[in-house]
Amino acid sequence: MSKDIYLRRYRSINVQIVLYVFLIMVTANALCIIIFNVLYAMGVVMGTAPMLLLLVTFSVSTVIGSILTFVFSGVILRPLLELSKAMENVAKGDFSVKITELSSMYELRLLQQNFNIMTRELDGTEMFRNDFINGFSHEFKTPMVSVYGFAKQLKKGGLTEEQQKEYIDIILEESRRLINMSGNILELNKLENQEIVSDKKLFRLDEEIRQSILLLEQQWSKKNITMIPELDELEFYGNSEMLKQVWLNVIGNAIKYTDDNGEIRVSLSRDSDGTAKIAVCDNGIGMDNATAERIFEKFYRADASRASEGNGLGLPLVKRIVELCHGRIKVMSEPGRGTEFYIYLPLEMPDVKAKESKKRRNAEHTDRSLTNIQT
């Protein structure tokens, strides 16, 4: 048996309570014996009736035991009283409270440690909740003020046809921002409470990334950005629709922060450790290290001048999806030199994936055979 287990048993609250009671009984009896010896030597108890002697002994033991119990109980009850007071503060909403972990009893010290861990987590959650509410309130209020203001101007009238068209376009754009924001928040909230990826299937990862690039063609063509796809053929077993949000957000982010006539390179390859490595590299405005450390925070946007182009929820959504897929994401950037996003996804071939791959190959072989027969 290890030394740590022996130490836990020795410091167990059960063992120590037994020791305290035993010490109280021994001490009370010892003091009774001493008192009676003194009284006997003085001739006070000589000739005393047995029942009276027994009653006196019981009374003296009770008094001495009660006094000793009161003294020793403070050793056990003091940390419990401190914990009770701290829990009252937590119940009132004070999550910054901490208690000193000095108890010699294993269970009490463990209780103190767990209490401090709980309050630390609650304090962090409260700060995160406040930051989230403040960020969401600000992000939600800005487009709402714009919609209200321009709608009020339209109702007032006296505008030219060109002004009316401009105001309507602004209202539509701000409404779109609100819809996207609410949709991203709901999706992110769902993913944060999700631990298992469902609706998995076998699909071509390179084809999905290529389709995402085509879906964003209007955006990068408008800025005359050169898009360079370098996609190796790779099969992946996962949730296709979920991962499509990753490519649309990361590539869309690169387009947003790349100036006109810039260049974006999107690559897919099998890394040396057997994972799928996806890289999205641009030669845009880039960012410093302080910004790069915060880009996965909710509502954080690196460039305030481009605030109308996003809501600060895309990259947190990307990170959560990658984590659910047991992958990882990292960013490398330098101001004025561009930004590089690297996403690594595991390519383990489970039995289901192997069966689907074999089934697909058989289907393709059957299709080719039918084509040859028809020919």
The CATH number given to whatever domain includes residue 187 is 1.10.287.130
Amino acid 208: pLDDT: 92
Residue 209 has pLDDT above 70, yes or no: yes
**Residues 141 and 223 grouped into a single domain:** no
* 77 lies in the same domain as 144: no
Residues 144 and 46 reside in one and the same domain:
no
Residue 140 lies in a domain: yes
Q: Sorting pLDDT into bands at 50, 70 and 90, what band is 267?
A: very high
Band of the pLDDT at 282, cuts 50, 70, 90? Answer: very high
What's the domain count of the chain? 3
CA 207 and chain centroid, separation:
32
Look up the CATH number of the domain holding residue 277. 3.30.565.10
Q: What is the DSSP letter of 225?
A: P
| Domain shared by 215 and 312, yes or no | yes
**Model pLDDT for residues 87-137, shown as the tens digit of each residue:** 888 887 777 788 776 655 666 777 778 888 888 777 766 665 666 666 666
- Does a structural domain hold residue 372? no
- Tell me the pLDDT tens digit for each residue of 361-375: 555 555 554 444 444
55 and 133 in a single domain? The answer is no
Kindly state the DSSP code that residue 150 receives in the 8-state scheme: H
Q: How far apart are CA 342 and CA 281, in angstroms?
A: 9
State the pTM of this model. 0.53
Q: Do residues 83 and 138 share a domain?
A: no
CA torsion angle 285 289 291 295 (round to 10):
100
Phi, psi of 98 (to 5 degrees): -135, 150
Same domain, 330 and 186: no
- Asked whether residue 147 is domain-assigned, the answer is yes
Query: At 71, which amino acid appears?
Result: V
Considering the domain boundaries, does residue 236 fall inside one? yes
Task: Based on the fold, state whether residues 12 and 32 are members of the same structural domain.
Answer: yes
d(CA 272, CA 39): 91
Gap between the Cα atoms of 355 and 359, Å rounded = 6
My answer on whether 210 and 77 are in the same domain is no
- Tell me the one-letter amino acid at 9: R
Range of the domain at 327: 201-355
Q: Which residues pair with 235 in a beta bridge?
A: 204
How many H helices and E strands in the chain? 11, 7
pLDDT at 353: 46
Task: Flag whether 366 is in a domain.
Answer: no
* 174 plus 240 within the same structural domain: no
| pLDDT band with cut points at 50, 70 and 90 for residue 342 | very high
